[in-house]
Each structure stands twice: as structure tokens, then as C-alpha cells.
Amino acid sequence: MTFDDETWRYLRGEKFSNRIDVAIPYREPIPNRVNFLTDMSRGKRIVHLGCLDHKPLIADKIGRGQWLHKELTDVASACVGVDIDEETLRYVETTFGYTNIVLGNFTVDKFEPIMSSKWDYAILGELLEHIDNPVQFLSAIRTNYAGHIDRIVVTVPNAWTRITMRMAKSSIEMINSDHRYWFTPYTLAKVLYQAGMKTEEIKFANRIPLGAVDLIRHKMAGMVGAKPALDFTYASSIIAIAKI
């Protein structure tokens, strides 16, 4: 989905209202997030920011085809990862043979493998919600790498899933204890704009578990050859593609 011209006037700060109603006209199949990012990276030059994972989870994710850095490395024409976790970096080097990861802070350091070439996408997956100041964080990426990386792909948890809304109706906030923020399509685009990046497209990924009624509808749609289409509240991740 894209935002209409009127919504962009608010995103740019040209207009203000204490309530705008932003249409989210999304009814499409909801893909697996890793599979979606892998497909869009096929044949592209990729910088994978914050590329490592919790060390105990990596072997299992590799076995299931869900460790993103491996999947990107396998399909991209070139892929370089950046992360600050030295222990886990050495682990994936020695255990799995991955040598395309640079150790350091990509908001502070300018890495020669990135600066010496041109890249199609920087991928920042499920990280922004853990950052104290996301605008400052994204602005630093733009300052360091504009002119070297064409676009950034940011994925964050979706605030408005049916699960989170159902829990809220029971006066319960369901949250990862390390998260600083919840994002919506509008607020993610606003943060990117404040950092000097313009969102070109919003996608959704990682379908939440379906209830009995939705499962029946899905099966019926499949029986007649239709692709099951769901609205954005069935997706646990928001994906923004923005020009750096």
C-alpha cells in the first residue's frame, strides 16, 4: 500500500490534526517475513544491518530456513552484514562459515566494504522497536550511507493485530519487555520521514494464527482456487520500503 496525497501532507508536517483517519486498504495474502525479504533480495546487493540473532536460536533457524542472514546471503548477488555482537559473530564464523559480517556500530562507523560500492537495499529487521531514539538512529544511517545504499527496508511489529486488540479489550497490554515503541503504518512512515527518508511502500508479513471461522474461510477460498486475502490486522509485522 501507499499513502495518498492528503496523508502525505500530514506526514510532511504541512497540515496538523489531533485526529486523522488513515485508510489501510490492504487485502492480500500475508507472506512469511523472512521469505518476503529473501524474495525481494534475489539478485540484489544487500546490506543487512543488525544481522545476527540470539545465539541459541541460530542453529534451529538455519535448520528451518528462517535465519535471515543465511537466506539473504544465499540469494543476493552480494550481501554484507553488520552487527555489534562479537561473540555471536565469531560463533557463526567458526560454526557455520559465515565471513560476510563486519563487527561494529553502523550508526557510528563507516565500513569500507559498504562505502566502496553501491547497494540496492539496507535491511533492518525487527530492530527499530528496541532503539531508544529511532529518528536519531535512522538519521545516522542516512548520514553515513546516503549515496551508497539506495533504499532501506524496515520491519517492525504491527501494533494493530487482532491479538493485541483482543488483549487490550481485556485491559491487558501484550508486549516484548525490551520494546520501546509500538508502530503503525503511519507512525513508521512519520519516523522515517523525520529521519530524511521517504516511504515508498508499506507491506505486511507474518500472519497471526487464525481462529476457527477464519480457517474455514481460508479453506473454502482455496477450494475455489482463490488466494486467501486478509486485512492488515492479521499481520504481526509491518514492512516499510523507503528511499534513503
Residue-level pLDDT at 29: 83
What class is the 28-243 domain? alpha beta
Domain limits, the chain: 28-243
Average pLDDT over residues 185-204: 98
How far are the Cα atoms of 23, 51, 52, 204 from residue 186, in angstroms, in the given order?
10, 26, 28, 13
Please name the amino acid found at residue 92: V
pLDDT for the residue numbered 220: 77
The cell 569500507 sits on which residue? 112
Q: Would the pLDDT of 179 be above 90?
A: yes
Q: What is the pLDDT of residue 211?
A: 75
Q: What are phi and psi of 135, to 5 degrees?
A: -65, -45
Would you state the cell numbers that stand for residue 50, as one nine-digit string?
Answer: 543488525
pLDDT digits (tens, 9 = 90+) for 79-130: 999 999 999 999 999 999 999 999 999 999 899 999 999 999 999 999 999 9
- DSSP annotation of 95 reads H
pLDDT per position as a tens digit, 56-74: 999 999 999 999 999 999 9
DSSP state of 101: E
pTM tops 0.85, yes or no: yes
**Residue pair 81/69 in contact by the 8 Å Cβ criterion:** yes
C-alpha closest to that of 100 among 80, 85, 82: 80
